[in-house]
């Protein structure tokens, strides 16, 4: 059995250390107050059994809590008091150098918690280590100077989660929709170099990828671009090729007809689109930003975003090539094609592509093939989104956060060039468990926790307020988000709905199960769960009216935080069946991963909750290998179009470098009680010798996960 030390490193469980600590406290009291040998043995057995039953590696603090409780249960109160005093004194000493210990463990690559914090970061790479080191310092500054003590305490206890504290010391925002159209059409500046309007499609793609890298280094969340902003440059290339072909043929003594010129030029256009799309895919994957990972980029594919005619046909050609190249995948070190994590793709289901016989049905079939093999694209229903977003259809920022509808001075909706200020998440499960199933107490506790979130979100807002545009010229001065002057503050972009700020929530499923004794898919549970969602929306509306800031309810994509919340809940409330008995809690409003439900019932049920999560959310269905059943994939896609705004299909795409197995790598228990990945063909367990891609929080992860998330992945039931 393993334990996690305070520094984050993993170590072997040693009952002798616990024995020594108990005896040290025992020796400090007078004889008649001492524990007997039998009682010490019982304490040690109970602690060891409790650790084994956790089905994960417990932390040192958790073990010490168990020891305290066991000593108290033996009514050795003075022994317990002295044990607690000794522990407190040691804590004071440790606090002086806890950040140093964290950083040193990072450098030695043995910090287990950090190694599994982000499924798209490799913690052994120098640039990632540098980012994590800076993050530890930033979190320390945030805890000690920048946040109110009660907010810090609530975060550490898992009542709320203050996201991305490792970037909070800097004046950085979360995620954005890049105004690539402005940057390309009107020129931009990258690394103090003027970039003019591109004169070909491939050049536009190259500029886009360079901008993506710069933007990723200037914020900490995901960014989205639209292919509709690149499509106009296909015509630029077409006109250039026509001129070139004419000159080449005339130089060869051939009098070319317009038909021949156009035919040859179109062949070159096709090659140009291939080069440009390949550039986006390979550069995004191979670029390394200053935070040590590939840019978290989403590519939006929406035909109706451009007018009918040649421009739409060019956009369709770009989308087609994007899908073809993603189906192919990218080569790993062994030269085998595998599934990349980025760019994330979103395909809009529309009236003219959703049914067989419609004009762009061929693209939708290609998207289905891509989903079956590579897990992307995800799908937005134009029909449902227009109902929910005042007649508008647009992409999310990153994996799921959606902007509110904003109209400019000409009363036109505007989405690109906008951003999210940050997220704070409310742990609904903790609020429920704290209430003791008393519903009146639950709503009172919810108000207290919402106030914590409110003040934490305002702290995020205030941290951005007063930020000069000079901190990130690519964002604020050179068109990605704005064209502000040097030295101008970004304040006006923080109000009036131009940007959003997100109240996240997690564990609606477990919250409902605790309060009502049933799943939120049960009619009684559904009624309560919807009431909670409306209550959270009402809070956002109240804050928005007070501050003229667009607070918006957001279905948080918990990655490592799902494990943190679960551990905190077990520490505070013990193991409650169906509520705290897992090493994870459920993302946002989702149906629990272990609950048997069909794909169509799940999407229909969750659509009601997605509507009440206007700041962003995504639903999914878990499916087996679908490469031989594209008709079933298309059926799910058509159901998405008719019933829910934003959804995805989770397939599996793994590869074992040891034996060449291509299929689903399994999750098994090792002898230490830890969950590990194992090739079902050759039993390889070396994570460095396997490629595993799984959808975790709306995006694909490829660097493995912590024990909580790994358990959640293993326990997912199929919906199709």
Q: Is 706 a catalytic site residue?
A: no
> Tokens 């493995």 belong to which residue?
704
Catalytic residue among 132, 360, 554, 641: 554
Q: Which two tokens stand for residue 277?
A: 């799309």
Q: Which of 450, 457, 449, 452 is nearest to 499 (CA)?
A: 457
Q: Which two tokens stand for residue 331?
A: 């080569």
Angstrom CA distances, 24 to 28, 29, 528, 673, stand at 7, 10, 50, 30
Measured distance CA(293)–CA(221) in Å, rounded: 12
Q: Is 420 a catalytic site residue?
A: yes
Catalytic residue among 113, 559, 606, 678: 559
Q: Is 643 a catalytic site residue?
A: no
Measured distance CA(707)–CA(720) in Å, rounded: 26
Q: Is 302 a catalytic site residue?
A: no
Measured distance CA(500)–CA(483) in Å, rounded: 19
The answer to whether 183 touches 196, Cβ cutoff 8 Å, is: no
Radius of gyration of the chain from its Cα atoms, rounded to whole angstroms = 27
Catalytic residue among 176, 393, 397, 509: 397
Q: Is 698 a catalytic site residue?
A: yes
Is 23 in a helix, a strand, or coil? helix
H or E segment and range at residue 547: helix 523-547
Q: Is 174 a catalytic site residue?
A: yes
Q: Is 397 a catalytic site residue?
A: yes
Catalytic residue among 54, 172, 399, 533: 399
Catalytic residue among 7, 420, 499, 706: 420
The answer to whether 420 touches 397, Cβ cutoff 8 Å, is: yes
381 contact partners, CB below 8 Å, separation of at least 6: 348, 349, 640, 641, 642, 643, 644, 645, 646
Q: What is the DSSP string of 113-180?
A: HHHTT-TT--TTSHHHHHHHHHHHHHHHHIIIIIS-HHHHHHHHHTSEEETTGGGTTSS----EE--H
Measured distance CA(526)–CA(698) in Å, rounded: 23
| Half-sphere exposure at residue 9, Cβ-oriented, CA atoms within 13 angstroms | 14
Measured distance CA(46)–CA(274) in Å, rounded: 64
The answer to whether 164 touches 556, Cβ cutoff 8 Å, is: no
Measured distance CA(376)–CA(651) in Å, rounded: 9
Largest CA distance in the chain: 113
Angstrom CA distances, 274 to 270, 280, 332, 364, stand at 6, 10, 21, 19
Beta-bridge mates of residue 330:
338
646-650 and 675-678 strand pairing: unpaired
212 contact partners, CB below 8 Å, separation of at least 6: 178, 223, 225, 284, 287, 295, 297
Q: Which two tokens stand for residue 28?
A: 């400090």
Sign of CA dihedral 61, 504, 402, 626: positive
Measured distance CA(143)–CA(135) in Å, rounded: 12
The answer to whether 479 touches 179, Cβ cutoff 8 Å, is: yes
193-195 and 223-226 strand pairing: unpaired
Catalytic residue among 401, 469, 587, 684: 401
Catalytic residue among 57, 82, 119, 174: 174
Burial class (CB in 10 A: 0-12, 13-18, 19+), 69: middle
Q: Is 399 a catalytic site residue?
A: yes
Q: Which of 30, 29, 61, 38 is nearest to 564 (CA)?
A: 61
Sign of CA dihedral 590, 594, 595, 598: positive
Cα 184 to its chain centre, rounded Å, is 28
Q: Is 487 a catalytic site residue?
A: no
Which positions are annotated as active-site residues? 174-175, 397, 399, 401, 420, 554, 559, 698
């Amino acid at each position: 059995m393993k334990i996690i030390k305070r520094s984050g490193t993993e170590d072997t469980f040693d009952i002798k250390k616990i024995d020594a600590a108990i005896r040290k406290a025992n020796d400090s009291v007078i004889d008649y107050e001492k524990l007997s040998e039998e009682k010490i043995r019982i304490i040690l057995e109970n602690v060891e059994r409790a650790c084994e039953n956790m089905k994960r590696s417990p932390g040192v603090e958790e073990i010490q809590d168990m020891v305290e409780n066991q000593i108290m249960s033996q009514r050795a109160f003075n022994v317990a008091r002295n044990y607690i005093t000794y522990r407190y004194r040691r804590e004071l000493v440790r606090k002086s150098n806890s950040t140093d210990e964290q950083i040193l463990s990072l450098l030695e690559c043995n910090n287990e918690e950090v190694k599994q914090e982000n499924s798209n970061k490799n913690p052994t790479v120098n640039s990632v280590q540098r980012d994590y080191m800076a993050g530890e310092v930033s979190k320390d500054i945030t805890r000690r100077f920048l946040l109110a003590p009660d907010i810090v305490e609530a975060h550490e206890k898992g009542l709320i989660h203050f996201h991305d504290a490792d970037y909070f010391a800097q004046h950085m925002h979360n995620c954005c929709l890049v105004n690539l159209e402005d940057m390309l059409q009107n020129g931009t500046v990258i690394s103090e170099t003027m970039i003019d309007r591109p004169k070909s499609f491939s050049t536009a793609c190259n500029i886009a990828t360079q901008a993506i890298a710069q933007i990723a280094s200037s914020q900490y969340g995901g960014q989205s671009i639209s292919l509709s902003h690149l499509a106009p440059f296909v015509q630029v290339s077409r006109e250039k090729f026509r001129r070139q072909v004419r000159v080449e043929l005339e130089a060869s003594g051939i009098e070319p007809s317009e038909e021949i010129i156009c035919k040859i030029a179109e062949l070159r256009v096709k090659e140009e689109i291939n080069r440009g799309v390949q550039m986006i895919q390979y550069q995004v994957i191979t670029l390394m930003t200053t935070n040590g990972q590939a840019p978290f980029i989403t590519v939006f594919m929406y035909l109706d975003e451009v007018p009918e005619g040649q421009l739409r046909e060019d956009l369709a050609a770009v989308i087609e090539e994007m899908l073809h190249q993603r189906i192919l995948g990218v080569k790993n070190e062994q030269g085998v094609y595998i599934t990349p994590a980025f760019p994330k793709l979103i395909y809009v289901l529309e009236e003219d592509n959703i049914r067989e016989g419609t004009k762009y049905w061929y693209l939708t079939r290609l998207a289905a093939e891509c989903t079956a093999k590579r897990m992307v694209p995800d799908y937005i229903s134009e029909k449902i989104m227009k109902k929910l977003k005042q007649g508008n259809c647009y992409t999310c920022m990153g994996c799921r956060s959606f902007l509110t509808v904003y109209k400019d001075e000409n009363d036109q909706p505007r989405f690109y060039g906008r951003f999210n200020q940050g997220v704070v998440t409310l742990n609904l499960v903790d609020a429920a468990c704290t209430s003791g199933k008393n519903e009146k107490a639950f709503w009172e506790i919810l108000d207290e926790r919402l106030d914590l979130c409110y003040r934490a979100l305002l702290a995020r807002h205030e941290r951005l307020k007063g930020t000069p545009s000079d901190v990130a010229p690519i964002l604020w001065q050179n068109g990605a988000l704005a064209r502000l002057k040097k030295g101008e503050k970004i304040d006006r972009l923080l109000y009036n709905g131009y940007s959003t700020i997100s109240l996240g929530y997690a564990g609606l499923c477990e919250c409902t199960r605790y309060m009502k004794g049933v799943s939120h898919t049960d009619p009684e549970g559904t009624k309560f769960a919807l009431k909670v969602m409306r209550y959270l929306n009402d809070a956002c509306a109240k804050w928005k009216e007070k501050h003229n800031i667009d607070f918006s309810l957001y279905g948080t994509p918990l990655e490592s935080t799902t494990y943190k919340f679960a551990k905190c809940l077990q520490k505070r409330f013990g193991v409650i069946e169906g509520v705290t008995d897992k090493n994870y809690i459920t993302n946002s409003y989702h149906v629990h991963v272990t609950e048997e439900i069909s794909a169509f019932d799940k999407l229909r049920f969750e659509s009601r909750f997605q509507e009440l999560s206007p700041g962003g959310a995504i639903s999914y269905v878990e499916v087996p290998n679908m490469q031989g059943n594209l008709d079933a994939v298309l059926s799910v896609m058509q159901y998405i179009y008719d019933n829910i705004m934003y959804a995805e299909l989770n397939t599996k795409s793994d590869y074992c470098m040891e034996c060449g197995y291509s299929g689903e790598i399994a999750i098994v228990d090792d002898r230490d009680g830890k969950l590990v990945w194992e090739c079902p063909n050759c039993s390889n367990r070396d994570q460095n010798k396997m490629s595993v891609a799984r959808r975790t929080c709306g995006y694909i992860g490829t660097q493995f996960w912590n024990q909580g998330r790994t358990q959640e992945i293993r326990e997912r039931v199929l919906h199709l």
